[in-house]
C-alpha cells in the first residue's frame, strides 16, 4: 500500500512538474521574433509606456515575472491568441497594447478609414462640380478662343523673350 502511494505521488509529481521541466529544457530568447509576437500584445503597467517585449526585465520586476509566465505558456504549447485570451479574461482589454477588433473597440480601427472614405467621396463630388463649372464657362468662351494660330505663336515668342530676361 505504501509503495502504491509512493508511486502515485511520484506520478503526480512528474505530471505537475512536466511543464516546468519543459520550461527549463527550452530557452526562449526574450528578443526573438517568436517571443515578440506574443509579448508585444501586452502593455507593461510599470509606467514605462512600453509593451512586455520592449520593457527590460533587468530593471522592471513586473515584466520579469510576466515574461516568465509567457514563456511557461508558450512551452505548454499555447499560441499567441490563446495567451491573449487568457490574459484578457483576467485583466480585461486594458492589458492589450491595441484595442480588440470586435465590439465597441472595432470603432477605433474602422473610424479613421470610414472618415477617409467619406471625405474621399466628398472630394470626388467637389472636384466633379468644379470641373463641370469650368466646362460650362469654357464652352461659352470657346468661340472666342478659336482665334488666330499666328497670334498664338507671336504671343508665345513674346513670353519666351520675357522669360529669358528673368533667367
Partner 1 sequence: MYLFANATIYIGLAIAIYSLLIMTLGISTKNQKLVNSGKGGALALFICAGLAMLSLFYLLGTSQFKYEYVRDYTSSELPVIYKLTALWAGNAGSLLLWTFFLTLYMIMIIYSRKMKGNPMIPYIISILMANAIFFFFILGFVAKPFLLLDQIPTEGKGLNPMLQNPGMIIHPVTLYLGYVGLSVPFAFAMAALIMKNMDDFWIKMTRRWTIIAWLFLSLGNIFGGQWAYVELGWGGYWAWDPVENASFMPWLTATAFLHSVMIQERKNMLKVWNISLIIISYALTLFGTFLVRSGVLTSVHAFANSNLGLYFLIFMGFAVIASLYVLMSRYNLIKRSAGEFTSFVSKESSFLINNLLLVGAAFAVFWGTIFPLVSEAVRGTKVTVGTPFFNKVEAPILLSMMFVMAVCPLLAWQRSTIKNLKKNFLLPAIVAVIAMILMVVLGMTKAWAVIGYGVIALLLVTHFLEFYRGVKARRKMTKENPMLALYHLMVKNRRRYGGYLVHLGIACITMGIIGSQNYDAQTMKTIELGKSIEINNYRINYDKLDQKKEGINDIVYAQVTVFRDGKRLGTYEPEKVFYGHWDQPSSEVAILSSFKEDLYIVLSAWEDDGRATFIVKVNPMMSWLWIGSFMIVIGSLFAVWNGRYQNVTPKYTGVRREVI
Residues in contact with partner 1 by CB under 8 A are: 29-32, 40-41, 43, 47-51, 54, 56, 58-59, 92-99, 104-105, 108-109, 111-113, 115-116, 119-120, 123, 126-128, 130-131, 133-134, 137, 163-164, 166-167
Tell me the β-bridge partners of 43. Answer: 51
**DSSP per-residue letters across the chain:** -HHHHHHHHHHHHHHHHHHHHHHHH----TTSHHHHHHHTTBB--SSS--BTTTS-TTT-HHHHHHHHHHHHHHHTT--HHHHHHHHHHHH-GGGBSS--SSGGGHHHHHHHHHHHHHHHHHHHHHHHHHHHHHHHHHHHHHHHHS--HHHHHHHHHHHHHHHHHH-
Residue with Cβ nearer partner 1 (76 or 129)? 129
Residue with Cβ nearer partner 1 (14 or 116)? 116
Minimum CB–partner distance for residue 167 and partner 1 (Å): 5
Residue with Cβ nearer partner 1 (41 or 73)? 41
Residue with Cβ nearer partner 1 (7 or 126)? 126
Minimum CB–partner distance for residue 82 and partner 1 (Å): 18
Residue with Cβ nearer partner 1 (16 or 113)? 113
Cell numbers describing residue 5: 502511494
Minimum CB–partner distance for residue 84 and partner 1 (Å): 12
Minimum CB–partner distance for residue 16 and partner 1 (Å): 28
Amino acid at each position: 500500500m505504501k509503495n502504491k502511494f509512493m508511486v502515485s505521488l511520484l506520478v503526480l509529481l512528474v505530471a505537475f512538474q512536466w511543464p516546468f521541466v519543459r520550461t527549463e529544457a527550452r530557452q526562449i530568447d526574450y528578443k526573438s521574433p517568436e517571443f515578440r509576437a506574443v509579448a508585444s500584445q501586452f502593455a507593461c503597467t510599470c509606467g514605462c509606456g512600453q509593451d512586455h517585449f520592449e520593457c527590460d526585465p533587468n530593471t522592471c520586476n513586473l515584466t520579469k515575472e510576466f515574461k516568465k509566465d509567457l514563456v511557461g505558456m508558450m512551452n505548454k504549447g499555447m499560441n499567441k491568441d490563446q495567451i491573449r485570451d487568457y490574459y484578457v479574461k483576467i485583466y480585461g482589454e486594458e492589458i492589450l497594447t491595441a484595442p480588440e477588433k470586435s465590439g465597441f473597440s472595432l470603432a477605433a480601427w474602422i473610424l479613421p478609414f470610414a472618415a477617409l472614405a467619406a471625405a474621399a467621396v466628398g472630394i470626388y463630388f467637389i472636384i466633379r462640380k468644379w470641373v463641370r463649372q469650368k466646362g460650362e464657362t469654357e464652352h461659352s468662351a470657346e468661340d472666342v478662343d478659336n482665334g488666330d494660330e499666328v497670334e498664338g505663336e507671336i504671343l508665345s515668342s513674346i513670353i519666351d523673350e520675357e522669360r529669358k530676361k528673368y533667367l
